[in-house]
């Protein structure tokens, strides 16, 4: 009896330690993500355009359309568009743009475009399917089948922080504004 306790006690301690190491740990960095928000007066996500809010949002809409984005909303100073990518076989990425145009100045003849883009990442998850057969005399029998059900599972989402990314978009918007303002020949 004493020998059995001697063997069980170390096994319980090992099981307890193994269970504790499998628990997710919250790091200091992940708990305080909001602390990284500087709220600095930089222009990564906004630009001033020499056009009214309506023309500025139209330039944003045209810029997104020219790059293959599907526009889901374009009215009231708001443009929303998205585009899908498949960089790897079982990885799917979606980029969604949100553009808000706000008139500035005494006559609202200039506008600021506030832009943010979010990148969502999905992976393909395969779920094996099993079938059950019910036979009244024997009960229920599960028979594994070779079928699977595929589904996309969201694994990450973040606002794209890269200033160069937004610079390219704002440059294209400026070009669209110029082209739209040219007199017809």
Domain with residue 98: its CATH number is: 3.30.310.80
Within-domain flag for 25: no
Average pLDDT of the chain to the nearest whole number: 81
- Does residue 107 lie in a domain region? yes
CA distance 124 to 166: 29
Q: How far apart are CA 59 and CA 4, in angstroms?
A: 78
- In a domain, residue 111? The reply is yes
Lowest mean pLDDT among 96-105, 124-133, 135-144: 135-144
- Stretch among 66-80, 124-138, 159-173 having the lowest mean pLDDT: 124-138
Domain membership of residue 24 (yes or no) is no
How many domains would you assign to the chain? 1
pLDDT of residue 43: 78
Question: Dihedral of the CA atoms 135, 138, 140, 145 (nearest 10)?
Answer: -80
**Is the per-residue pLDDT at 2 higher than 80?**
no
Could you tell me if residue 142 is inside a domain? no
Verdict on whether the full-model pTM lies above 0.85: no
HEC string of 95-110 equals EEEEEEEEEECCCCCE
Residue 176 lies in a domain: yes
Does residue 164 lie in a domain region? Answer: yes
The reply to whether 173 falls in a domain is yes
**Boundaries of domain holding 114:** 43-121+156-180
Residue ranges of the alpha helices (H) in the chain?
Answer: 2-21, 28-31, 53-66, 163-181
């Amino acid at each position: 009896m004493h020998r059995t306790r001697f063997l069980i006690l170390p096994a319980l301690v090992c099981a307890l330690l193994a269970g504790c190491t499998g628990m997710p740990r919250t790091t200091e960095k992940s708990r305080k993500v909001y602390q990284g928000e500087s709220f600095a007066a930089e222009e990564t996500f906004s630009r001033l355009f020499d056009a009214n809010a309506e023309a500025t949002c139209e330039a944003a809409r045209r810029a997104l359309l020219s790059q293959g984005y599907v526009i889901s909303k374009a009215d009231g100073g708001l443009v929303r568009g998205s585009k899908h990518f498949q960089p790897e076989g079982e990885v799917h990425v979606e980029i969604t743009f949100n553009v808000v145009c706000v008139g500035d100045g005494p006559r609202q003849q200039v506008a600021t475009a506030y832009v943010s883009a979010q990148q969502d990442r999905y992976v393909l998850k395969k779920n094996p399917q099993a079938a059950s057969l019910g036979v009244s005399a024997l009960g229920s029998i599960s028979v594994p089948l070779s079928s699977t059900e595929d589904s996309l599972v969201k694994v990450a989402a973040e606002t794209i922080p890269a200033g160069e990314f937004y610079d390219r978009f704002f440059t294209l918007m400026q070009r669209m504004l110029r082209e739209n303002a040219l007199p017809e020949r």
